[in-house]
Amino acid sequence: MEALREGSEPAFDALFQRYKQPIFGFFSRRLGDSGRAEELTQETFIALFRAAKRYERRASFRTYLYAIAFRILRADRRKSVFRAAFLGSPKAAASAATPSHTEESLWVRRALAELQPTDREIVLLREYQQLSYEEIAALLQIPLNTVRSRLFRARVALRDLLSPPSTSSVSQPAAQSSSARKGPRQ
């Protein structure tokens, strides 16, 4: 990043080649639209190039890049809410943008959607982008222990959402209802 700060185009190319797939994945997992994810990936690197002169090494470069991507994602979501208010239903736009996936990844996507927005971001940043707890805390501007506890709770919630329903809990009420119909034994 220091070489890019000095205006080196090969340094930009190297950073782009190294981080384009992870940033694309960051957007595509959140948007479900690979075309829009590609556009936001490009916007992220344009913003990085424009901000290169102002870069100060306070955190790792990866955290800095994801912070740019996160701000661009938030701005895009605000714009899409604004557009949806004038152009139509956001649900229709969201369902049209969702690509077909395998059944398992669809279940995971649905379970992630059930989580609170901050918990979902923490899980995605940790599990898919492989950011450290410290990097997530810096990116989301929350305390480190909050990241740890929310990640733990989100993982528990995901496990509960993804586990198959217990057959014993289903058969118990049925047995109770059949005994209730018969009445007390005499």
3-state helix, strand, coil in the chain (%, to 5): 80, 0, 20
Quote the CA–CA distance of 69 and 24 in Å, as a whole number: 10
Residue from 153, 154, 158, 125 nearest 140 by CA: 125
**In this predicted structure, what is the pLDDT of residue 24?**
94
Q: What angle do CA 97, 67, 2 make, to 5 degrees?
A: 125
**In this predicted structure, what is the pLDDT of residue 184?**
47
Q: Are 127 and 134 in contact (CB under 8 A)?
A: no
Residue from 5, 132, 140, 148 nearest 62 by CA: 132
Quote the CA–CA distance of 186 and 50 in Å, as a whole number: 85
Domains and CATH numbers, the chain: 1-99 (1.10.1740.10), 100-163 (1.10.10.10)
**In this predicted structure, what is the pLDDT of residue 22?**
92
pLDDT 10s digit of each residue in the chain, 186 long? 777 777 778 888 899 999 999 999 989 888 888 899 999 999 999 999 888 888 777 778 888 899 899 999 888 888 877 666 666 655 444 444 444 445 666 777 788 888 998 999 898 888 888 888 998 998 899 999 999 999 999 999 988 888 876 654 444 444 444 444 444 444
**In this predicted structure, what is the pLDDT of residue 87?**
63
**In this predicted structure, what is the pLDDT of residue 128?**
82
Q: What angle do CA 50, 55, 56 make, to 5 degrees?
A: 170
**pTM here?**
0.57
**In this predicted structure, what is the pLDDT of residue 97?**
45
Quote the CA–CA distance of 34 and 112 in Å, as a whole number: 18
Tokens 């993804």 sit at which residue? 162
**In this predicted structure, what is the pLDDT of residue 98?**
44
Q: What angle do CA 138, 144, 145 make, to 5 degrees?
A: 160
